Amino acid sequence: MFRGHGRSDPQFKIDLAGYLDGLYGYALVLSRNTAEAEDLVQECCLRAIRAMPRLRPDSNVKSWLYTILRRIWLNRLRDQRIGNRAVELHSQEPASDGERGAARDPHALYVAELEREQVRAAILQLPEEFREIILLREFEELPYQDIAAMLGCPLGTVMSRLARARSRLRDLLPAATTAGEDQNNSVEARKRSGDKA
């Protein structure tokens, strides 16, 4: 828990720990490298702690943190001219109550994990601008206005990009589902042939 000095509340508190997973996921989308993502989040937190005394209590802390992280990344790109690298999305979200119940059923657990992997693989196939906007809106649930401010573009552009990103993701997901079904069928076929032997 870190304290800032807002104008109306001298003991304004922000718990950065609640934002770390989301910031890390966003940093992965931007940097495409796990070590770089960790560095970005650490630098973001350090800058946020230093800037907290100037933060107003009515500020949107989540958008503020994501904006800091994005600016750090853009500055690093400019300074170091970082190239593209492979990325792994590690968004292990806590299971919902429904998923906990399904976790008792091994088949349901397997299907849920397969679906998560298919969505991750489809997102990785999107161009960077679409990956970023899908993450900010669908996973981090930032408002359109905040995303527009972060990306420095009009609200209409955010909505248009998000619509195109969703459309591309829909196009990619049936292919991923078919691949998953093929994999499932081959596993079942191997089990059946093993039973006959």
Q: 24 is written with which tokens?
A: 């890390």
Residue 187 reports pLDDT greater than 50? no
- pLDDT tens-digit readout, 108-129: 777 777 777 787 778 878 888 8
Under 8 Å CB-to-CB from 143, ≥6 apart: which residues? 63
Q: What is the pLDDT of residue 84?
A: 38
Q: Which of 19, 13, 18, 12 is nearest to 1 (CA)?
A: 13
Quick one: angle between helices 61-80 and 34-51, nearest 10? Answer: 120
* Section 9-21 average pLDDT: 75
Q: What is the pLDDT of residue 80?
A: 62
Name the residue with higher pLDDT: 4 or 68.
68
User: What phi and psi, each to the nearest 5 degrees, are found at residue 65?
Assistant: -65, -45
Helix/strand/coil percentages in the chain, nearest 5: 75, 5, 25
Name the residue with higher pLDDT: 105 or 51.
51
Q: Which residues pair with 2 in a beta bridge?
A: 14
Query: How does the average pLDDT of the chain come out, rounded?
Result: 74
Element (H, E) at 3: strand 2-4
- pLDDT tens-digit readout, 154-181: 999 999 999 999 898 888 886 555 444 5
Domains in the chain and their CATH numbers? 2-80 (1.10.1740.10), 97-196 (1.10.10.10)
Q: What is the pLDDT of residue 65?
A: 93
Whether residue 32 contacts residue 126, with contact meaning beta carbons closer than 8 Å, is answered with no
